Chain A
Amino acid sequence: MDIQLTINDISLKVPEGMSILDAAKTVNIDIPTLCYLKLNEMHYNNNIASCRVCVVEVEGRRNLASSCSTPVASGMIVKTDSLRAIQARRAMVELLLSDHPKSCLTCAKNQDCDLQSLASELGVRHISYEGEESTFEIDKSSFSIVRDPNKCIRCRRCETMCNEVQTVGVYSAVGRGFNTVVKTAFDLPLHETSCTFCGQCIAVCPTGALTELDQVDKVWKALNDPNQFVVVQTAPAVRVALGEEFGLEPGTIVTGKMVGALRRLGFDRVFDTDFAADLTIMEEATELVHRIQHGGRLPLLTSCCPAWVKFFEHQFPDLLDIPSTCKSPHEMLGVLIKSYYAKSLGIDPKTITVVSVMPCVAKKYEAARPELAQGAETADVDIVITTRELARMIREASIHFDHLKDKEFDHPLGESTGAAIIFGATGGVLEAALRTAYEVLTGETLEKVEFEALRGMDGIKEAVIPIAGRDYRIAVIHGLGNARTVLEKIRAGEINYDVIEIMACPGGCIGGGGQPYHHGNMDILAARAAAIYREDRAKPLRKSHENLAIISLYKDYLGEPYGKKAHQLLHTSYTPRKKI
C-alpha cells in the first residue's frame, strides 16, 4: 500500500514502512546522516538513531524526528531544510566535535572521515559547547587494528557489524552517560579477545576510531636498506580497487599501473599472489580427493581467509580437523620466495623482505603467526600492507598514478591464470577448484568454465555438481555470521557438504577491511566483483593446472601436489582458542 506524504512541498507516494530518509531520496532530497548505515547486500542495518543528525521537522510533532528510523505516515508533512532542523543538525555535530580530538590534519582518516565531511557540509565554523573531552587509551596491541576510542562517535556501526553480521561479538557499548564508549570485554587489548581481525569494523567506522595498523614506514625502511632484497606480492582484489584511491571509476582494473607503481617504489621483484592462488587450487583439490579416497572427514573448508581461520579457532575449536591445512596463498608465496626462489637466485633468505599488498587487515595478523615461518627469524611474509596503505605510499612518492605505463609481473612467481584472479570475489576459490577438479577427475576439457551458481552476493550459496559420476555437494559462504549458521548445523549433524568456501568479509576479498572505503556504497563492491570476472575472461589461461610456472614448480622443486615437500612448506595447523 502506498503512502502519500509531502516533503519540502513535494508531494510523493512511497510504500508503507519506508523511512522518511529513503522517501526523501526518491525525490532527490538528501538528508545528512552519520550513524545510519544500511548495507542490504550484507544484511547490515545500523539504524539505532543515535547521532540525531538526520533530524527533520514533521508537522504536528512536538520534537524533531530522526528520519532514518521514522517510517512515513499518511498525510505527513516533512521539512528537511527548515532552520530548526538545520540548527539542530549543526548542534549535534558541534556536540560531537566538542568531545572529539581536533587533530584532523594528522588523523589516518583525514579527508576520508564522515564526521569531517559532515562538519564541512553543515558549515560548522565554531563549537559553541566546549567542555571536558573523553580520554581513553589507544589500543595498538594487535598486528591489524588500531582502536582510538577518543575518536569514537558512538554510532555503534562497528558493534552492529561485529555482533550481528560477523557474530564475533568483540565490541559492546560500555559504561553509561558521557562515559559510554564502544569497547572490548573488560577493556582487554584487541589481541587478547576473539577478534578475527576481519577489519569490517574499520570498513564501516565513519571516523578514525578504527584504522589499520600502518606499516608503510616499515616498508620504506626495507626499501631503503641496501642489504635487503625486497619482494612484493599483490592479492587479486587489490588491482580492482586501488584505482579508486586515485579517482578512477570503481571497477577499473589497474593491474599494469599497480605493477608499474611498485617498480617505481623500488621493489626488487613484483610477484603476484595469484600465482599462489593457482598453487592453492592444486594443493586443496588434491587434499579433497585424498580425504574422499581415504575416508577423511568432510566437508573440507577452505582456509585462504585468515579471519575465518581465527574465527573457527575461537568459535569451533572442536572442529579443527575439517578445515583444509593449506596455508593462505600469500603465505605460500612468501615461503616459496624464501626457499625456491631464494635458492634459484642463490641469496640468503634472511636478506629477503617479503611484502604483501592485501585487501585485508587480518593478513597482517596472519603474517605474525609463529607457525607461518621457517624458524624464529624467517617469517614467510615480513610485512603486510593494505590497498589503502599502498595508495598512501604511491602518493607519498609523488607518483602520478594515472600516467603510469602498464607493466607486467616478474617471472616466474608472477604467472597466473583466470582461476586465480577470481579468488578475490566470493565463490571464486571453489569455481577455480571446480575448473581444475573437473578436468583432473574426468580427463575431459571443461568448455564452459563459469559457474554462475557460485557467484553473487547471496550469503550462503549451495550447489550440487556432478563430476565423474559423483555428486559434489558444495557451498559458498561469505560473512562470518553465515559461516556460524552453517558450521553449527554441521556440528549438529543436520547438514553435510563435501567442500565449503568461506570468506569472512561480505563479498569476499573485494570487500576486505583493507580496501578503499566504500562509505556505504555497495555499488562499489559490485563493480569490483565485475572487474574480477572481466579480468578472468581476459586471461589466456583460466584453469590453475594449466599455469606453466606451477607445473615447473612441482617438477623442479615440490614434487607431487599434497606431497611431502608441499606439506612441509605449504600446509599448516590450527590452534584451539578461547572465546572471549
Chain B
Amino acid sequence: MCDTASPNKFVQKLDDYIDSLTYKKENLIGVLHYAQEIYGYLPDNVQWHIAQKLDIPSATVYGVVTFYSFFTMIPRGEHVVNVCTGTACFVRGAEKLKGELENQLKIKAGETTTDNLFTLETLRCVGACGLAPVMIVDGKVHGRMNEAQHINEVLAKYRPEI
C-alpha cells in the first residue's frame, strides 16, 4: 500500500499546513481533520504520510483514526445523508426513518450507493429536537421526516435531473 501512489494530490497543501504548526505530534487530530477536509476521507497512504511528517508511528495514527467516528477511511458519495439518532429523534421515529432511507436508497447505514450519489450515515443529536425525526443532507437539516413521500421528495432534490 505505502509504496503505491503517495497522496500526491493536495500533498503540498497538507504539508504546508503541517509546517505551519508550532506543535506537530500534539496536533494529530487537527491534522487529520484538515486532511479529511481536503481528501474527503483518510486512506492508508494519507495516514502514512501524516505519520512520517509528524514523526509518529503509522499504527498510532491508525489507532486514532479508527477511534473517532468523525474520521472515515472510505470515500463518501457526492451527498451525505445523515439520520439523527439522538434520543428525541429516536422516540419520534428515527429508526423508521433510517429504515425508509435504507429502503429508498437500497443501501444500509454506513454504505454508499453504487452510483456514488448518496452515502447514508447516522449521527447523534443535531439540536433540532423540535423537528424530530430529522435527516441531514450535506449539512442541511430536514425535519419531521415521518412520511416516505417527504423523504423521497427531499432525496429527489439531490438527484441529477434527467
Q: Which residues of B contact A185 (CB under 8 A)?
A: 44, 47-48, 51, 57-59, 61-62
B59 to chain A, nearest CB (A): 4
A172-B57, A186-B48, A579-B51 given; 19 more Cβ-contact pairs under 8 Å: A163-B60, A169-B57, A169-B59, A170-B57, A171-B59, A172-B60, A174-B59, A174-B63, A176-B66, A176-B69, A183-B62, A184-B59, A185-B58, A185-B59, A185-B61, A185-B62, A186-B47, A186-B62, A579-B57
Q: Which chain B residues lie closer than 8 Å to A173 at the CB level?
A: 63, 67
B2 within 8 A of A: yes
Question: A172 touching B63 by the CB < 8 A rule?
Answer: yes
Q: Residue A104 at the B interface, CB < 8 A?
A: no
* Complex: A163 Cα to B63 Cα, angstroms: 13
Residues of B within 8 A of A188 (CB): 1
CB proximity of B123 to chain A, nearest CB, Å? 15
Closest beta carbon of chain B to A172's beta carbon, Å: 3
Find chain B residues with CB under 8 A from A580 CB: 2, 48, 58
Give the B-binding residues of A (Cβ under 8 A). 163, 168-176, 183-186, 188, 193-194, 578-580
- Beta-carbon contact of A175 and B2 below 8 Å: no
Query: Using Cβ atoms and an 8 Å threshold, which residues of chain B touch A172?
Result: 57, 59-60, 62-63
Q: Does B154 contact A (CB under 8 A)?
A: no
**Nearest CB in chain B to that of A188: its residue:** B1
Contact A186–B57 (Cβ < 8 Å): no
Could you say which of A170, A175, A578 contacts B59, with CB atoms under 8 Å apart? A170
Shortest A272–chain B CB gap in Å is 38
> For residue B59, which residues in chain A have a CB less than 8 angstroms away from its CB?
169-172, 174, 183-185, 193
**Min CB–CB distance A532 → chain B (angstroms):** 34
Please tell me if the beta carbons of A186 and B44 are within 8 angstroms of each other in the complex: yes
Interfacial residues of chain B within 24-68, with CB under 8 A of chain A in the complex: 44, 47-48, 51-52, 56-63, 66-67
- Tell which of A163, A171, A176 touches B67, judged by Cβ atoms closer than 8 Å: A176
A175 with B52: CB separation less than 8 A: no
Q: Known: A186-B47, A580-B2. Contact between A174 and B66, CB under 8 A?
A: yes
A-B contact count (CB 8 A): 58
A-B contact pairs, 7 of them (CB 8 A): A168-B57, A169-B57, A174-B59, A185-B62, A186-B58, A579-B52, A580-B48
- With a cutoff of 8 Å between Cβ atoms, the chain A residues found around residue B44 in the complex are 185-186
| Contact present for A169 and B63 (CB under 8 Å) | no
Distance, CA A149 to CA B66, complexed state (A): 17
Q: Check if B1 sits within 8 Å of A186, measured CB to CB.
A: yes
Contact residues in A for B2 (Cβ distance below 8 Å): 578, 580
- Bitwise, B60-93 to A at CB < 8 A (1) or not (0) is 1111001101000000000000000000000000
- Minimum CB distance partner of A170 in chain B: B59
What are the residues of chain A within 8 A of B3 when measuring CB–CB? 578
Bound form: Cα–Cα A170–B63 in Å: 11
Chain A interface, DSSP helix/strand/loop, else mixed: loop
Least CB distance, A368 to chain B, in whole angstroms: 20
A380 to B50, alpha carbons, bound, how many Å? 39
Nearest first, the 9 A-B pairs at minimum CB distance are A169-B57, A172-B63, A185-B58, A172-B59, A185-B59, A186-B44, A185-B62, A174-B66, A175-B66
Residue of A nearest to B68 (CB): A176
Contact B56 A175 (CB under 8 A): no
A-chain residues with CB within 8 Å of residue B61 when the two chains form the complex: 185
* Complex interface: chain A residues within 8 A of B63 (CB): 172-174
Collect the chain A residues with CB atoms within 8 Å of residue B57's CB: 163, 168-170, 172, 185, 194, 579
Q: Among A170, A183, A185, A579, which residue has the most Cβ atoms of chain B within 10 A?
A: A185
A171–B61 Cα distance when bound, in Å, is 11
- Bound form: Cα–Cα A183–B69 in Å: 18
Q: How far is the CB of B52 from chain A (nearest CB, A)?
A: 7
Set of chain B residues within 8 Å of A193, measured between Cβ atoms: 58-59
Q: How far is the CA of A184 from the CA of B57 in the complex (A)?
A: 10
Q: How far is the CB of A321 from chain B (nearest CB, A)?
A: 23
A170 and B58 alpha carbons, distance in the complex (Å): 8
Report yes or no: A175 in contact with B48, Cβ–Cβ below 8 A.
Answer: no
Whose C-beta in chain A lies nearest to the C-beta of B1?
Answer: A186
- Chain A residues near B58 (CB, 8 Å)? 169, 185-186, 193, 579-580
Measured between C-beta atoms, what is the minimum distance from A359 to chain B in Å? 26
In the bound complex, CA of A103 to CA of B59 (Å): 29
Give the complex CA separation of A345 and B52 in angstroms.
Answer: 52
Chain B nearest CB, measured from A402 CB (Å): 44
* Cα distance, A168 to B59, chains bound together (Å): 10
Docked complex Cα distance between A188 and B51 (Å): 15
Residue of A nearest to B45 (CB): A186
B residues in contact with A579, CB < 8 Å: 51-52, 57-58
| A171, A172, A175 — most chain B CB neighbours (10 Å) | A172
Smallest beta-carbon distance B91→chain A, Å: 23
Complex CA gap A176/B47 in Å reads 18
Residues of B within 8 A of A169 (CB): 56-60
- Quick one: which of B2, B59, B61, B69 has the most chain A CB within 10 A? B59
Q: Tell me, rounded to whole Å, the shortest Cβ–Cβ distance linking A33 to chain B.
A: 24
Which residues from B are CB-within-8-Å of A176? 66-67, 69
| Chain B, residue nearest A163 (CB) | B57
- How distant is B94 from chain A, measured CB to nearest CB, in Å? 20
Closest Cβ neighbor of A580 among chain B residues: B58
Q: Which residues of B contact A194 (CB under 8 A)?
A: 57
Chain B's closest residue to A168 (CB) is: B57
- Bound together, the chains give a CA A578 to CA B44 distance in angstroms of 15
**Minimal beta-carbon separation of B143 from chain A (angstroms):** 30
**Within the complex, what minimum Cβ distance (angstroms) separates A484 from chain B?**
12
- Nearest chain B residue, comparing its CB with the CB of A173: B63
CB-defined interface of B1-32 with A at 8 Å, one 1/0 digit per residue? 11100000000000000000000000000000
Chain A residues contacting B56 (CB-CB under 8 Å) are: 169
- Assess the B67–A175 pair: CB atoms within 8 A: yes
**How many angstroms from the CA of A193 to the CA of B59 in the assembled complex?**
9
Chain A residues with CB under 8 A of B1: 186, 188
CB distance from B128 to the nearest CB of A (A): 26
Residues of A within 8 A of B66 (CB): 174-176
Within the assembled complex, what's the spacing in Å between the Cα atoms of A345 and B47? Answer: 56
**Which residues of A lie under 8 Å from residue B69 when comparing CB positions?**
176
